[in-house]
Amino acid sequence: MDEDDHHNLFAEAMGKVKPLQSSNKVHIKKTKSTTPRKRTAERSTHTLDLPFATAQRPHAGQDNPWLLIADGVSKDTLKRLAAGRPAIDLSFDLHGITRDAALTVVQDVITQALQEDMRVICIVHGRGLHSQGKPILKETVYHCLSKGPLAHMVLAVMPQPNSGGGACLVLLRRKHKQ
């Protein structure tokens, strides 16, 4: 196949594509980055340096660093969460966005979920197979959920069953009635 054939096949395939309605689009604020886009081993191991609130936060489980549990959360609660009780209220995918954009999206979604009295969200962050060194988005999500400004509203975070470690379930605190 020559280049013209490839062009024609692409044009034919794209002719069926329709733009999303603006109400279905996810809008992410773009910020100018002063750091180069090329990832290096040094950048991939960079620890997050963010100002965070100091309230009761979930902490890593003893045997599993991808299991975050706030004090007072029982093993039965984790078993129910893994079994789908309560059901997932909201699920979103972070594939294809940068670390900084992922932080913004996670914080915005958790804020929205709390305002709408949601209890369980599923975050698809990927397993980090295409990251150099460590899984960047996965580590970013877990760091944000354990030490971020909304960490005090997180009761538990665990890998979603059957996701291969590429998604996590987040159990949020209930809002106190005033």
CATH of the domain at 160: 3.30.1370.110
* C-alpha–C-alpha distance, residues 157 and 162, integer Å: 15
At 155, is the secondary structure helix, strand, or coil? strand
Q: What's phi and psi for 143, nearest 5 deg?
A: -65, -45
pLDDT attached to residue 23: 60
pLDDT attached to residue 43: 31
Listed as own residue / partner, the contacts of 40-49 with beta carbons closer than 8 Å and 24 or more positions apart are 40/132, 41/132, 41/133, 44/131, 44/132, 44/133, 44/134, 44/136, 45/133, 45/134, 48/140, 48/143, 48/144, 48/147
Please name the helix (run of DSSP H) or strand (run of DSSP E) that holds residue 156, with its range, or none: strand 154-159
Question: Looking at the domain assignment, is residue 148 inside a domain?
Answer: yes
Question: Looking at the domain assignment, is residue 36 inside a domain?
Answer: no
Q: What's phi and psi for 110, nearest 5 deg?
A: -65, -40
Question: Looking at the domain assignment, is residue 48 inside a domain?
Answer: no
pLDDT attached to residue 64: 75
How many structural domains are present in the chain? Answer: 1
Question: Looking at the domain assignment, is residue 37 inside a domain?
Answer: no
- DSSP assignment of 31-61 equals ----S-SS--HHHHTPPP------S---EE-
Q: Which residues have CB under 8 Å from 39's CB, separation 6+?
A: 131, 132, 136
Question: Looking at the domain assignment, is residue 10 inside a domain?
Answer: no
pLDDT attached to residue 55: 37
pLDDT attached to residue 94: 93
At 145, is the secondary structure helix, strand, or coil? helix
Residues of the chain with pLDDT under 50: 33-56
First to last CA, the chain: 68
The residue segments making up the domain with residue 90 are 55-172
Q: For residue 16, how many C-alpha atoms fall within 13 Å in the half-sphere facing its CB?
A: 4
